[in-house]
Amino acid sequence: MPATSHSSSAKPPAAERILVLTGGSSGIGAELVSALSAEWRITSLDLTPPAHPQPGVAYANGDITTNSAVESLHEVLEYGSDTKIDAVVHCAGIGKFGPFLQMSRADWERLLTVNLHGTLNFVQGIADQVADGGRIVLFSSGTVFKAPAGAAAYAASKAGIIGFARSLAAELGARDITVNVIAPGLVVTPLSESIAAGEDANISTRAIKRAATTADFVEPVRFFLSPGASFVSGQTLVVDGGSIRR
């Protein structure tokens, strides 16, 4: 299906720093769009538009596993394909959980296609537009380190993002572009609804014994985007209330 695009009717925010964010229609991505829209000129890319668009944010629809994703962005970006982007935050992804030995090949291939190959495809398609001194923030998962049963394929898809980010940081460092990763613990969003029943057990393993919220990821992302993080690159920050301590 060809990509479509639209933007909210409100005027864009005064901020001129340009941020492209994927997965902004729900979950952590939607929270970031809401929190950062006053500071950044945001274009959000997702497979479907949000139910409640954030005023001042432009929305593009596209599949990150195809070239149509970047093409859809260019249709929405008022400043065109030649204008440099100051930051990219890539949240888009899917989840699928269950015993690996019973998981169909189609299911684990879909996880790898969207979570890992989609990340490679999207970042490769937009990296040339990132300004020197820019920021790239990718999302992995705490399951990479915690390695719970029933998450083998998902953890594999998210582990690849960490390896990719470390290598990409070395490639883009000459342009002073930082590449870092946020690895969330379990936070109940549409992506994780199928494993939400394990929330109480997950909380019991945390140093901070409460449920995670999407708001918990705003300040970690804001740090990676900030001038203060200009000398931090190739790093993975686990945000899970201290369930994983390393």
pLDDT average, residue stretch 162-186? 97
Q: How confident is the model at residue 10 (pLDDT cuts 50, 70, 90)?
A: very low
What does the pLDDT look like over 87-143, one tens digit per residue? 999 999 999 999 999 999 999 999 999 999 999 999 999 999 999 999 999 999 999
* Angle between helix 152-172 and 118-126 (nearest 10): 20
The rounded distance, in Å, linking the Cα atoms of 219 and 208 is 17
Q: How close are the terminal C-alpha atoms of the chain, in Å?
A: 44
Tell me the pLDDT of the chain averaged across its residues.
Answer: 89
Q: Which of 155, 161, 180, 153 is nearest to 237 (CA)?
A: 180
Query: What local confidence, expressed as pLDDT, does residue 197 receive?
Result: 59
- Active-site residue, from 40, 97, 122, 154: 154
Query: What local confidence, expressed as pLDDT, does residue 76 receive?
Result: 81
What does the pLDDT look like over 186-212, one tens digit per residue? 887 666 565 555 678 888 899 999 999
Identify whether 154 is a catalytic site residue: yes
